[in-house]
Amino acid sequence: MKTITANRLTDGRVIYRTAEGEWTEELARAERLTDDAVAEARLAQAEAEPAIAVGPYLIEIEADAPGGQKWRREGIRLTGPTTGSTKVTNTSRKAA
Amino acid sequence: MLQLDRKTVTRDVTNAQLEAGGGTIVEIAGDTPWQDAATQISGAVQVDIRFPSFKDGRGFSLATLLRERAGYTGHLRAVGDLIPDQAQYLHRVGFDDVAPERTDLEEDWAKAKARFTHAYQPAQDRVTPIFGQRVSAPKDELAALNARYRGADAIDILRDAIRNQWTGRIAILSSFGAEAAVGLHMIAQVAPDTPVIFLDTGRLFAQTEQYQRALSEQLGLTNIRMVRPQAEEATAEDPDDKLWQRDPDACCALRKVRPLDNVIGEYDALITGRKRFHGGERMALPVVERLDGRIRVNPLASWSAQQVTDYFQRYDLPRHPLSDMGYASIGCWPCTAPVQDDDDVRAGRWSGRSKTECGIHTPSRIAAE
């Protein structure tokens, strides 16, 4: 499963794209994309909004947490900074 | 103790809590995970974050996280081994004040705090970032000025612009053409030492030059600034004196736009005598506008041709020698012709061409096209 993430132009915050085409800071509200063709189409829409979101791209997610090979990177983007306090978002990964 | 002047909205809450008898001061170490810190500080009216060493920046992150994620709105103080260079950062992450271990550096702290006045990004100090100011402020400011000047007499607009708004940073741009005496006469009453920028293009009518000298003397204008094209550029770009014929835009750029650009850096605002009845793009002319980042004040924007005529009569102002010969708007001799009675006043400028403006009143990216 995938979703679209980017950084907000005005303050650099990590944001995710919802099914309604809005942008949110909460991963839980992000759109779940299962079909790759649909995902690419949604990404093209996101790229057409450079005044809101900078550098949108697709990430892997598992349940409500970043997954795939870049789970840690996306985990830090979601909950960082890492100064002794980053909550591990994907507990199954922590065990592994 | 150094106050960081954070724009805080928390005083009422703090006072209320203090009066209720509650309100404690909690000190936490800078390396505390923010979730733990959030629990520890519950009910506190002041939180001191301790920095064990100035090299340990975790307290900065903690401050931001407490403000942003834990929603802490009370007083936040930085304590411990901090150095003056960190003043700005402490401010940006949301501290209200600093109590450094070394207390003999107050002057350095104050200096460091004042070093930067603007911010590129939004942060916990709630300073409006530069892009935010660019987006909102200029428009609001212009709208407010235009609203204030609506219906005001031209001379009152000039007086306010010169004495209050852009004191010492304002000049009037004058062609010493057919209508110029109106604005210049007002300037002479308000502040005769206001710089009058006069573009001597090298192609002016002899009558204009003569009129400029006579009118300046009669009105007592003491600060005429003759602005001429660079001699080397003129020789290189217009060796045969026929540039006006081949490419009038290039000729205006050489003789008017660039020479003006070279001198207006000293001014925040320029006064012009443009009026809506001139037609073309000028029909929508506001009293105050922004052009390439600089203010243009057009106090006569709403004036009619009749008002101009009346003003000349009332103050017995001398007319440009050519205006009696049918020239309603006067620029350089190769590109200025007399107009018929029913034409627009500027119909004689670059007549027979689509060009209507020389470029000194249009944004640079358009003029360059």
Helix H or strand E segment including B168: none
Q: Is the pLDDT of residue A83 over 80?
A: no
Q: Is B76 helix (H, G, I), strand (E, B) or coil?
A: strand
Cβ contact A85–B131 (<8 Å): no
pLDDT digits 0-9 by tens, A17-50? 999 999 999 999 999 999 999 999 999 999 999 8
Distance (Å) of CA B192 to CA A83, B108, B315: 64, 46, 16
Q: Is the pLDDT of residue B369 over 80?
A: no
Strands (E), B243-319: 269-271, 288-291, 294-297
Q: Does A83 contact chain B (CB < 8 Å)?
A: yes
Hey, what amino acid is at B320?
H
pLDDT value for B81: 95
pLDDT value for B7: 56
Hey, what amino acid is at B271?
I
pLDDT value for B5: 65
Beta-carbon neighbour count of residue B19 at 10 Å? 9
pLDDT value for A35: 94
Instruction: State the count of interchain CB pairs (< 8 A) between A and B.
Output: 26
Model confidence at A88, pLDDT cuts 50, 70, 90, reads: low
pLDDT digits 0-9 by tens, B93-136? 999 999 999 999 999 999 998 888 888 888 888 887 888 777 65
| 3-state SS string for A16-58 | EECCCCCEECCHHHCCCECCHHHHHHHHHHHHCCCCCEEEEEE
Cβ contact A85–B34 (<8 Å): yes
**Looking at CA atoms only, how far is residue A81 from chain B in angstroms?**
7
pLDDT, average across residues B129-146: 75
pLDDT value for B8: 45
Judged by average pLDDT, the poorest of A8-12, A44-48, A84-88 is A84-88
pLDDT, average across residues B76-84: 95
Domain interval for residue A71: 2-95
pLDDT, average across residues B215-239: 91
**Looking at CA atoms only, how far is residue B257 from chain A in angstroms?**
33
pLDDT, average across residues B202-208: 92
The total domain count for chain A is 1
Q: Is B358 a catalytic residue?
A: yes
Q: Which of B33, B129, B131 sits opposite A85 (nearest CB)?
A: B33
Beta-carbon neighbour count of residue B202 at 10 Å? 15
Q: Does B65 contact chain A (CB < 8 Å)?
A: yes
- Please, which residues bridge with residue B142 across strands? none
* Distance of alpha carbon A27 from alpha carbon A75, whole angstroms: 11
Model confidence at B139, pLDDT cuts 50, 70, 90, reads: low
Asked, as a colleague might, if the bond just before B33 is cis with ω within 30 of 0, I would say no
Hey, what amino acid is at B172?
I
Q: Is the pLDDT of residue B196 over 80?
A: yes
**ipTM, 2 dp:** 0.74
Mean pLDDT estimate for chain B: 87
Sort out which chain B residues have CB atoms less than 8 A from A84's CB and list them: 31-33, 58
pLDDT digits 0-9 by tens, B262-272? 888 889 899 99
All structural domains of chain B, each given as residue ranges with its CATH number in brackets, are: 2-127 (3.40.50), 132-367 (3.40.50.620)
